[in-house]
Amino acid sequence: MLPYGRQSIAESDIEAVAEVLRGDWLTTGPAVGRFEAELARWTGGVPCVSVTSGTAALHVAYVAAEVRAGDEVVTSPLTFVATAAAAALLGARVVFADVQPDTGNLDPDAVAALVTPRTRVVTAVDYAGHPADYDELRAVADQAGAVLMADSAHSIGAAYKDRPVGALADLTTFSFFPTKTVTTAEGGAVAAADPERFRRAARFRNHGLVREPAEQRDPDVGGWHQEVHEFGLNYRLPDVLCALGVSQLRRLERFRERRSELVARYNALLRGVPGLTLPAQRAYVRPSWHLYPVRVRDGRRREVYERMRAAGIGVQVNYLPAYWHPVFEDLGYRRGLCPRAEAYYAEELSLPLFPDLTDAQQDRVAETLAAVLR
């Protein structure tokens, strides 16, 4: 089965991990700082806190934004459920706003119609690696007095109007799952320009521990002393995985370029295939394509999915609208809430896309898909 996504591991990655295994640090050591510094090179210098997963990054970012019970978080339903679940776990009411019909990204006008005095955070999702419309979303968030957050699990290395992802929102989260552009096996990060939000994020990922004597309530106990002022969790990304991340980040531009080449080839190979809509791209955006999401029209998505899988091509569907999950249905959310997101989901099919995909494999995908549709 040709997968829809997979990691790209080189000997340099293996050697980077082996070097840590031969050293003194496996958990929080020097590789963590190197990884966070290397990541900040891609966020325009915005400092980053590494964590154990993209989901952990969302949880940490919502804590850094001081989301509490009774707050509202406006976000897209066209995302993996964690974008909404992490806010709900903090007691927030998740408000789902509809998406743009071509990109699948959060529609700023839909957000503007839904913000209230209780809106604490507006969370955009860079669907498929195409950045959302951040200038318009910033205007909406600022008018509402809300924090603007970017779920950029798909879009590391992308840019919007010549500004890098990581520097577009107040808080940005990344994921380093194996199918993503850069991997640490499991892992994530939060970028935060505001020093106080960065401090909250860094503390929360380490149990909330306060080690700086100047900030402790009882600083004269001894050099071993540490305190917890607010609860946190252990979301620390270990040295061995950060070493892999540093090695991967040094190849990020090559990964991004190869994905862009493959997207251009798909566009050429599939242009004109009946019953198929190809992904959109704004002129002012440089995507970092994580997915190649086509739209299969005429109600044939399931048929095409099953026939492609039967042919050994691992297509995928991204995503079930978040509020369709039973956990949200049980909270009172109903289908029909975001018609454009639901229409997008009903047709969406992700084709294989990863840097090691060969031209011959891609030709096979395109030829098989065209044959099925014709």
Question: Of 313, 344, 338, 312, nearest to 324 (Cα)?
Answer: 338
* Residue whose tokens read 């997915």: 291
Distance CA 344, CA 215 (A): 50
Distances in Å between the alpha carbon of 253 and those of 46, 99, 143, 158, 265? 19, 29, 36, 10, 18
Which of 169, 215, 217 has its CA nearest to residue 57? 169
- Considering 154, 180, 197, 286, which one is annotated as catalytic? 180
The answer to whether 122 and 61 are in contact (CB under 8 A) is no
In this structure, what is the dihedral angle of CA atoms 102, 103, 109, 113, given to the nearest 10 degrees? 100
Is the four-CA dihedral 337, 339, 341, 344 of positive or negative sign? positive
Q: Token digits for 126?
A: 């860079």
180 catalytic? Reply is yes
> Measured in whole angstroms, how far is the alpha carbon of residue 291 from the centre of its chain?
12
Task: Return the sign of the alpha-carbon dihedral for residues 96, 187, 156, 293.
Answer: negative
Distances (CA, A) of 66 to 60, 75, 146: 10, 16, 11
For residue 311, give the amino acid letter: A
Catalytic (active-site) positions = 180
